[in-house]
Amino acid sequence: MRIPEHRRPSALYILIVLAVVVLFIATSYQYKLTDRMFPLMVGYFALPLLIMDLLALTDSKIGEKISIFFSAKTPEKVDEDADQTVRSLKQELMIFVWMGTLVFGIYLIGFLPCTPVFVYCWMKYRGGYSVRQSAYLAIGTIVFVYVLFEILLQYELYPGIFLYWYG
Amino acid sequence: MFDALLEGIVNLGSIHSLLLLAAGSCVGLLFGAIPGLGGTTAVALLIPLTFGMEPWQAIILMGGVMAATSTGGSVSAILLNTPGIAPNAATTFDGYPLAQQGKAGMAIGAAATASAMGGVIGVISLVAVIPIMKAIVLLFTPPEFFMLAIFGMCAIAVSSGDRLLQGLITAVIGLMVGFVGYYDVTSTVRFDFGIPLLEDGVKLVPALIGLFAISEMINLAVKGGSISQDSSDVEISGVSAGVKEVFKNWSTMLVGSGYGTFIGAVPGVGGTVAAFLSYSTQAQRDPTPEIEYGKGNIKGVIAPESANNAKDGGSLIPTLAFGIPGSAETAVFLGVLILHGIEPGQKLLEDHQDLVFTLVVALTVSAVFATLIVLALAKYMALLTRISVHMLIPTVTVVALVGAFALNTEIGDVVIAFIFAFIGYFMIRFNYPRVTFTIAIVLGSITELSFHQSMLIADDQMSIFFTRGLSLTLLALTILSLAFPTFRRKMKERKEAKLETEQ
Amino acid sequence: MFSKIITGAVALSAVAMVAAVPAQAQSFPKKNITFLIAYGPGGGFDTITRKLAPFLKKHLGGKVNIVPKNLPGGRGKKAAAFLAKRKADGSHIMMFNMPGHAMPNIIGEEAGYDVRKMDWLGRVAQFRYIIVVSAKKSKYQTIQDVLKAKSQIKIPITGPGTTGYLASAILWNALGVKPKYITGYKSSSRYSLGVIRGDGDLTILAKGSFKKYVSSKKKKQAAFKDLKPILEITNGKSEFGVPTTGEMGQKDLAILGGDRIIGTTPGTPKAIKDRLAKAVWDSVNDPEFVAWGKKVGRPVAPLNSEDATKLVGTLYSYYIQYKDVLAASNKKTR
């Protein structure tokens, strides 16, 4: 019983979720009976589901049975029907880093500087637009955000961690 | 009552009132369309403006806002896979695939029309049930809440079709998310891992922003291109086709409006549940769809949109009957009334019937007005799906994050949105349904709370769930909804067998 | 010589400081003042804060805006902690919910603020409780029925440790009744609905919140169609003609209720604090504000800065007697 190469990423995903569920169950035990009753019920219900999902990815007989029971499809058919978009891990990691940097930047120095910088950099370096086009959209976005949120709605947009506590 | 209705119409009859209503409607559309803002924020922000107004003028303005938000929210749900407000989440499931197929105009047309129809039906139902509205509100006690939540989750899990196992998995994970934070029965904070932000639980709006909007932006960034996969020069119109679809599928719209009114009347459940239930009921009523649900079936847009607008009328039922807000928006609306020296509750309907009907008329007119605006602009808005992703991704991401922050001016919510963006992306990547995940977050806490309350009321006797009419009915519906797919499959097999023997 | 210079300098700076204080007070307020609301839009605190803000503006000279801002989170703790950490320049004020906001301090929970250290500007309103039953469904139609009850009384209420729960616990303990609490309702309007539909027998309710269940068309008893009062917690005369705790010889219980007190960041300069306190006092006593409060069943109850500070102390020492009741319900583990 093994998991075919092309289903490995899915299997990894399930294993991560499984780990979260185990952590959840372990945490539940520190609470009083009323407080842990539902979380434990749900947690223990999740375990067999995840294990079945994992088995359905294998090339075994039982995997096929599970797949047919729940979806009326063989695992091969499921593969066929899946989204065929090619996603390289490098590409995905790259985008996570971009997004992560944005959120971290907002946390550190706030929305107002991060907004135009992010829009500009993305357009210029990911979209391949010219400096002028990128700058136009960057300015447009920050004007929209500033006028709508700061002026019209009188929100104090988050100014970054330093100004928030010491400003 | 008729006099009061007349007075309501008269109040709205002047140019000044109509302008107020139009202003409210436009604000509602805008606030509905930008994720994170929503109707509650809009009404709260407009409060200072109403200080100089007569109460009925304030009511017209607020009515205008409230009736328009979910119409605005449907536009971003369809075009950007971003529910503008939580009740629009169910609209993304078929609305966004339609946009990807180049049919954004049609989807918006249908959504806007369904919204108007739902809104009007909701208000009419409200007026019709005024004599019996107290009884309706009192029907729902903790055992009924419990059964309703169970019914909702089962109906929706079943509607995830051939991804049933994965649907169940995301549902249980959603329930776990719902357990995070303060639990009202015991006043305990659970699963907060020492993070103060989690004390209040994972808030729905930032989670939805991450789960739908930002995750889709990540997905687009990985895939490239533009939202509309249809690169041919097919004219983006079809708005009128969408309008026609609503009238063609009038039963879908009626059922949706019914769900909206009824569930809107139950305080604490709300438009999100109504929209999801309407969506899953539609998917079940239509066993052999021409286009699979979740892949761009127009009925999957009509069902939730008629429900989430009808709930505006429904959520006023507990407000008028007992002065209890049926939704977050009505809570703020009640605040506005109090600011103007009007005490909600019993006295509202006794002493201020004219104001009640002014609101009724304002809600109706605004629902229609908002729809007309959206229909007029739909063609241009649909062009958004043609824009290159590299212009769309950074702008939508940034505005969505600002929206997540604006909800409670809480930077932690931005982090929550970010985390859910990853969860959402992996759910897209590995084809795990987000429908069940979302509804489980909403219904999880209701299930647990109403179960424990029922046990407290009944001194731990489980019989409380089986000895009450409505609770039993809901149980029967749950069993039916679970048995339905199996029954359907058997019927299909029998048919096929019959065909084979005949050959 | 040198010491003379120092003395001179000290004297001079002292003069400068003394001179600076009124200057500071005169120039205050220069910037907009944020009026924090510890809860989301739509509740009682939200409404009264928004109503009060324009009056404060008027009585502060009308040049700067008082900007109400919702900062919900941690059941009110987040906004209070935020206020406590501001620069002490009177730029932020907030209406506190007492005794609710004191609870984390009483049980020794980390809250980020201490109600005993806040600068108090004055009280806006207070509310007192009544006990209500369902007018149609309840087995108990008078307080005597409850006291003589054979079966256990059931009370729908918010979670353990909340003010409503605590007030109930103290009251019924004093009256020798051992009820069962049906907890988990999110607000008083939710648990009132619970009583109307028969989830439980009776509950405790702020008088102001009760008024919306009273019909205006009918007089007295007939006006109570859904909820009906059976006991009022007061040492005075009952507004609804029902027995009071005072009449039952429970004079101590009259402290139970809620007070809405405006506070600002600890360490605010006296001049600024006095200016703000005066504005609060003038606003709360503004005839227009008083009339509004009366009309919507939320009558004002002004207290000046000094008395409000004393009241916070009194409340703190009263409720700390019940620390164990509170702490037990807040304990996480078995």
Closest residue to B169, CB basis, from A27, A50, A87: A50
What is the chain B residue with the closest CA to A66?
A: B165
Asked if A31 lies within 8 A of C334 by C-beta distance, the reply is yes
Q: Which of the listed residues A29, A61, A81 is the one where a domain comes to its end?
A: A81
pLDDT at B164: 84
What is the chain A residue with the closest CA to C65?
A: A154
Q: Among residues 174-203 of chain B, which lie with CB inside 8 Å of chain C?
A: 182-189, 196-197, 199-200
Q: What is the 8-class DSSP label of residue B352?
A: -
The ipTM of this complex is 0.94
pLDDT tens, position by position, B19-58:
999 999 999 999 999 888 888 888 888 888 888 888 899 9
Rounded CA-CA distance B256/B268 in Å is 19
Q: Do A73 and A120 belong together in one domain?
A: no
Q: Do A77 and A93 belong together in one domain?
A: no
* Contacts of residue C68, Cβ cutoff 8 Å, sequence gap at least 6: C35, C37, C46, C49, C50, C53
In a domain, B291, yes or no: yes
Tokens found for residue B191: 């699963």
pLDDT at B288: 78
Closest residue to A165, CB basis, from C67, C85, C332: C85
- Per the listing, tokens 């509607």 go with B159
Do residues B17 and B60 touch, judged by C-beta distance below 8 A?
A: yes
Rounded CA-CA distance B386/B94 in Å is 18
Print burial letters for B210-249: b (CB count within 10 Å at least 16), e (below 16). Answer: bbbbbbbbbbbbbeeebbbeeeeeeebbbbeebbebbeeb
Q: How many CA atoms lie within 13 A of A122 on its CB side?
A: 32
Query: CB contact, 8 Å: B366 with chain C?
Result: no
* Contacts of residue B472, Cβ cutoff 8 Å, sequence gap at least 6: B466
Chain A partners within 8 Å of C334 (Cβ): 31-33
Q: Do A100 and A159 belong together in one domain?
A: yes
Chain A partners within 8 Å of B428 (Cβ): 83
Q: Which of the listed residues A39, A54, A81 is the one where a domain comes to its end?
A: A81
Closest residue to B391, CB basis, from A10, A137, A156: A137
Chain A partners within 8 Å of B221 (Cβ): 95, 98, 126
Average pLDDT over residues A143-163: 85
Q: How many CA atoms lie within 13 A of C96 on its CB side?
A: 33
pLDDT tens, position by position, A75-128:
777 777 777 777 778 888 999 999 999 999 999 999 999 999 999 999 999 888
Structural domains in chain C, sorted by start: 2-126+260-330 (3.40.190.150), 128-255 (3.40.190.10)
Closest residue to A30, CB basis, from C67, C85, C333: C333
Tokens found for residue B449: 């709370």
Percent with pLDDT over 70 in chain B: 96
Chain A partners within 8 Å of B168 (Cβ): 49
Q: Which of B447, B437, B390 is nearest to B208 (CA)?
A: B437
Alpha helices (H) in chain A, listed in sequence order:
8-28, 33-55, 61-71, 75-81, 89-109, 111-121, 131-145, 161-166
Asked if A30 lies within 8 A of C67 by C-beta distance, the reply is no
Q: Do A93 and A161 belong together in one domain?
A: yes
Do residues B221 and A126 touch, judged by C-beta distance below 8 A?
A: yes
Give A32's strand partners.
none
Asked if C333 lies within 8 A of A31 by C-beta distance, the reply is yes
pLDDT at C333: 45
Residues making up chain A, counted from first to last:
167
Closest residue to A42, CB basis, from B162, B172, B388: B172
pLDDT tens, position by position, B148-194:
888 888 888 877 777 888 989 999 999 999 999 989 898 888 998 88
Q: Which residues constitute the domain of residue A60? A: 5-81
Residue B290 has pLDDT above 50, yes or no: yes
Residue B382 has pLDDT above 70, yes or no: yes
- C108–chain B nearest CA distance, Å: 16
Q: Within 10 A of B103 (CB to CB), how many other CB atoms are there?
A: 27
What is the chain C residue with the closest CA to B322?
A: C213
Asked if C334 lies within 8 A of A32 by C-beta distance, the reply is yes
Torsion-angle region of C70 (φ positive above 0: left; ψ -120 to 50: alpha; else: beta): beta
For C192-256, give the DSSP string: HHHHHTTSSSEEEEEHHHHGGGB-SSS-GGGGBSSEEEEEE--SS--TTS--BTTTTT-GGGGG-
In a domain, B346, yes or no: yes
To probe the interface with B, which of A88, A99, A146, A151 has the most B CB atoms within 10 Å?
A99
Query: CB contact, 8 Å: A13 with chain B?
Result: yes
pLDDT at C18: 47
Q: Which of B296, B330, B400, B313 is nearest to B122 (CA)?
A: B313
What is the chain A residue with the closest CA to B165?
A: A70
Listed range (B65-74, B306-315, B480-489, C184-193) with the worst mean pLDDT: B480-489
Residue B499 has pLDDT above 60, yes or no: yes
Q: Do A98 and A65 belong together in one domain?
A: no
- Per the listing, tokens 């990807």 go with B100
In a domain, B424, yes or no: yes
In a domain, B151, yes or no: yes
Asked if B449 lies within 8 A of C216 by C-beta distance, the reply is no
Tokens found for residue C142: 């008078």
Chain Cα centroid distance, residue C201: 26
Residue B205 has pLDDT above 70, yes or no: yes
Q: What is the 8-class DSSP label of residue B91?
A: H
Asked if A154 lies within 8 A of C333 by C-beta distance, the reply is no
Q: Which residues constitute the domain of residue B307? A: 2-226+238-502
Rounded CA-CA distance B84/B104 in Å is 16
Chain B partners within 8 Å of A153 (Cβ): 45, 406
Query: CB contact, 8 Å: B136 with chain C?
Result: no
Gap between the terminal Cα atoms of chain C: 73
Q: What mean pLDDT is reported for chain C?
A: 86
- B151–chain A nearest CA distance, Å: 17
In a domain, B233, yes or no: no
Asked if B343 lies within 8 A of C211 by C-beta distance, the reply is yes
Q: Would you tell me the crossing angle of helices B38-50 and B328-339 to the nearest 10 degrees? A: 10
pLDDT at C334: 39
pLDDT at C328: 57
* Contacts of residue C71, Cβ cutoff 8 Å, sequence gap at least 6: B408, B409, C36, C37, C38, C78, C79, C82
Do residues C274 and C164 touch, judged by C-beta distance below 8 A?
A: no
Chain A partners within 8 Å of B176 (Cβ): 21, 24, 39, 42-43, 46
In a domain, B296, yes or no: yes
Do residues B190 and B179 touch, judged by C-beta distance below 8 A?
A: yes
Asked if B338 lies within 8 A of C47 by C-beta distance, the reply is yes
Q: Which of C243, C151, C166, C130 is nearest to C200 (CA)?
A: C151
Closest residue to C46, CB basis, from B183, B335, B408: B335
Q: Which of B312, B264, B334 is nearest to B120 (CA)?
A: B312
Query: CB contact, 8 Å: A18 with chain B?
Result: no
pLDDT tens, position by position, C141-178:
999 999 998 889 999 999 887 888 989 989 998 998 98
Domain count, chain B: 1
* Contacts of residue B226, Cβ cutoff 8 Å, sequence gap at least 6: B385, B386, B387, B388, B389, B392
Q: Do A59 and A97 belong together in one domain?
A: no
Q: Do A105 and A37 belong together in one domain?
A: no
Q: Which of the listed residues A41, A62, A81 is the one where a domain comes to its end?
A: A81
- For strands C33-37 and C66-70, give the pairing: parallel
Chain B partners within 8 Å of C290 (Cβ): none
Do residues B310 and B263 touch, judged by C-beta distance below 8 A?
A: no
Q: Among residues 68-107 of chain A, which lie with CB inside 8 Å of chain B?
A: 70-73, 82-83, 85, 87, 91-92, 95-96, 98-100, 102-103, 106-107
Asked if C213 lies within 8 A of B346 by C-beta distance, the reply is yes
Tokens found for residue A89: 């891990």
Peptide bond preceding C29: is omega within 30 degrees of 0, i.e. cis?
Answer: yes
Closest residue to C333, CB basis, from A32, A154, A165: A32
Q: Do A47 and A106 belong together in one domain?
A: no
Asked if A95 lies within 8 A of B221 by C-beta distance, the reply is yes
Tokens found for residue B393: 């991704």
The amino acid at B196: P
Q: Which of B53, B11, B47 is nearest to B27 (CA)?
A: B47
Q: Do A142 and A97 belong together in one domain?
A: yes
Chain B partners within 8 Å of A128 (Cβ): 390
- C321–chain B nearest CA distance, Å: 20
Q: Distances from the Cα of C89 to the Cαs of A80, B2, C32, C113, C115, in angstroms?
A: 66, 57, 12, 17, 18
Alpha helices (H) in C28-141, listed in sequence order:
44-59, 77-84, 103-106
In a domain, B232, yes or no: no
The amino acid at C62: G
Residues making up chain C, counted from first to last:
334
Burial (Cβ within 10 Å: 0-12, 13-18, ≥19) of residue A84: exposed
Q: Distances from the Cα of A134 to the Cαs of A114, A127, A140, B188, C158, in angstroms?
A: 14, 9, 10, 50, 54
Chain A partners within 8 Å of B401 (Cβ): 102-103, 106, 111
Q: Would you tell me the crossing angle of helices B164-179 and B434-457 to the nearest 10 degrees? A: 50
pLDDT tens, position by position, B393-424:
999 999 999 999 988 888 999 999 999 999 99
Q: What is the 8-class DSSP label of residue C66?
A: E
3-state class percentages of chain C: helix first, strand second, coil last, to nearest 5: 45, 20, 35
Q: Among residues 48-77 of chain B, which lie with CB inside 8 Å of chain C?
A: 48, 51
Chain C partners within 8 Å of B318 (Cβ): 193
Q: Do A109 and A71 belong together in one domain?
A: no
Tokens found for residue B374: 């959206």
Q: Within 10 A of B168 (CB to CB), how many other CB atoms are there?
A: 24
Chain B partners within 8 Å of C292 (Cβ): 341
Query: CB contact, 8 Å: A43 with chain B?
Result: yes
Residues making up chain B, counted from first to last:
503
In the complex, which subunits touch C with 3 or more CB pairs below 8 angstroms?
Answer: A, B
Asked if B408 lies within 8 A of C158 by C-beta distance, the reply is no
The amino acid at C146: V
What is the chain A residue with the closest CA to C83?
A: A165
pLDDT tens track, chain C, 334 positions: 455 555 555 555 554 444 444 555 567 888 889 999 999 888 888 999 999 999 999 999 888 999 898 888 888 899 999 999 898 999 999 999 988 899 889 888 888 899 999 999 999 999 999 999 998 888 899 999 999 988 899 999 998 878 889 899 899 989 989 899 999 998 888 899 999 989 999 999 998 888 888 877 666 666 788 899 999 999 999 988 899 999 999 998 999 999 999 999 999 999 999 999 999 999 999 999 999 998 888 889 999 999 999 999 999 999 988 887 766 555 544 3
Give C303's strand partners.
C123
Q: Which of C171, C20, B224 is nearest to A86 (CA)?
A: B224
Torsion-angle region of B266 (φ positive above 0: left; ψ -120 to 50: alpha; else: beta): beta
pLDDT tens, position by position, B240-273:
899 999 999 999 999 999 999 988 888 777 888 8
Rounded CA-CA distance B130/B349 in Å is 10
Rounded CA-CA distance A76/B480 in Å is 32
A135-138: long-range pairs with CB below 8 Å, 24+:
A137/B391, A137/B394, A137/B395
In a domain, B231, yes or no: no
What is the chain C residue with the closest CA to A163?
A: C86
- A143–chain C nearest CA distance, Å: 23
pLDDT at B230: 58
Element (H, E) at B403: helix B389-408
Do residues B78 and B99 touch, judged by C-beta distance below 8 A?
A: yes
Q: What mean pLDDT is reported for chain B?
A: 87
Rounded CA-CA distance C267/C265 in Å is 6
pLDDT tens, position by position, B326-379:
788 888 888 888 888 888 777 788 888 888 889 999 999 999 999 999 999 888
Asked if C183 lies within 8 A of B186 by C-beta distance, the reply is yes
What is the chain A residue with the closest CA to B180?
A: A39
- For strands C119-134 and C154-156, give the pairing: unpaired
Confidence band for B233, pLDDT divided at 50, 70 and 90: very low
Percent with pLDDT over 70 in chain A: 98
Query: CB contact, 8 Å: A34 with chain C?
Result: no
Chain B partners within 8 Å of A155 (Cβ): 406, 409
